[in-house]
Structure 1
Amino acid sequence: MASSNFIDHVRLYCRSGNGGAGAVHMRREKHVPKGGPDGGDGGRGGHIILRGSTNLWTLLHLRYQKHVFASNGEGGSGHGSTGADGKDIVLEVPLGTIARDAETNEIVCEITEHNEEIILAKGGRGGLGNQHFNTSTNQTPRYAQPGEAGLDTIFVLELKLLADVGLVGFPNAGKSTLLSVLSAAKPEIADYPFTTLVPNLGVVSYRDHRSFVMADIPGIIEGAADGKGLGLRFLRHIERNSLLLFLVPADADDVAKEYEILLGELTKYNPELLDKERVLAISKTDMLDEQMIEEMKALLPKTLPTLFISSVAQMGLQELKDLLWSKLNPAKS
């Protein structure tokens, strides 16, 4: 999919439907010259609903839909007839979508499951017909309730990708290459920074027909949490990943320092990311001999699970999948 087709942020003006007015009507039939009130209730205004769908992975289809209007409920009528409800508007969104009130920035809801439905903007209630206001002292009420107004609100929809493993690394660390080797994903790969301009998802096949989802997040640079580079735009996608796979190339000037910078940027963006499981993979290690690998191991954090891999030479990839699976499924490994 072209990079321009990945949209993870849209702004929508939503107006739910007004409720229909209750009816003022008196029963008039042959041989019943003075029937009582029988005005029906108004119908409910249409809701605006979000529905989760596994068939979507971007908000592109909503990019140009700036206004969303649900229809109004119809008014009630005689003989106790209730007006028809306004038609609901259902907006399908990818899993991991959150909705915020644009004015308060408050999170209204989030969609995390397929076919999950949440009412984003409720339609107004229909008014009561005059049959509800009949009393012993007022047997012919000639008034009814108007319908309740719908809601006028601007919402911001944001997508945070749902994946089991999030790939974290500087540009040119080899994240896209690793994803293309482990899964059927075909991200753009080239030898220059910021080749990846959008997140890519890939399903990684594992033993016994099992699998997990890996996300290649666009490269972070030092200062990303302060808005530099592309980092701030895509750091939110890391929040929904169960496990973080840090990828540092073997030809980095200082592998341990590069890892610490990456970890620092995530911490500045959201300290809660430190609570996630972390694995470090040193990529492009086909250029190292055993002695160099041992020397590099001595400089890395002892408590951090670390593997030396090469996507091009297919080195250590099965061990990496075994480690990731065991971290994702500790009870099943």
Structure 2
Amino acid sequence: MTHSQSDSSGTSLSERAERAVGIAVRAARRLGLRAEDPRVLHDMFNVLVHLAPLPVVVRVPSLALVPAAELAAKQRRELDVVGWLADSGAPVVRPSPLVPREPVECDGRSLVFWEFVDEREPMREAAAGGLEALEDRFVEQSGWAAELHTALAGYPGELPVLSPLVPTLAPLLAALRKDPQGLTTAELDRAEQEYAVVEALVADLPGCLPGARVQPLHGDGPSYNLLRTADGHLFSDFEDVTRGPVEWDLALVAPRAVAEYERASGRPLDHALLDIMERARLLQVVGALAVVPSMPELGPMMAPTIDLWRQRAPLTPDVLSR
């Protein structure tokens, strides 16, 4: 078998993608699956490898953002939630039925196997139509997120509260103290003070946010993590599945997208809480600067969001008694 030397768009593979292809193929062979023409669908924090011609996609972590045991626990939660949603008929990319619904360890990586779907109208095509076309797409998809939240609300399992923030951010902020990635000492102080506020919020969510609509969430922006197929849309990438206010899943979408979500859900969002969740989401991006030494191309991509964080009012303890 010859490994693919380019991704699905014909672009030459990065070294991490080449490694991911090898790991995915070896893991698949242990499970009795043979891929004759593996292809990379996506290469960023995770590498997605289609084990063509099999209808299987392997997600291979390319960066160790959390300890291996913690990652495997996250993946088990993800598989449980997505499996439950799929069995309930919700529009999600399903775990592969060709392997057990559990993480697979190979070469020190924890992998997850998903069903391959034939994507139509990929994001790069919408982006080619300009910013207005791209925003129109996200507005529509934000309305569909209301449908996902309705389905998620019935999930019976236990989930941690706002886990993309706590404890995930703590080691990233500690790493930035050693390698600030352009942040000033005052900005590092601000980030740590904001994290203390987020920790207090997570520790007592009902007390800090009385009346908030708290439920299971996608965790990483369902408006963005969605594939369009010939049979309709499918939500994907539930790696950060968590519990929290629905406003977390809508943080940093355009005002038109917020309005579309409210129309589709039939209920208003708490805009003051949305502001808090947006500032927390910006802090999450600040923490992600810690991975730039391992993935330098992220620096320019995140720069506009870091600038937005600098411009927004910081999270302060007064939000805990709103």
- TM-score of the aligned structures, taking structure 2 as reference length: 0.25
- Between structures 1 and 2, the one with greater helix share: 2
Q: Which has the higher strand share?
A: 1
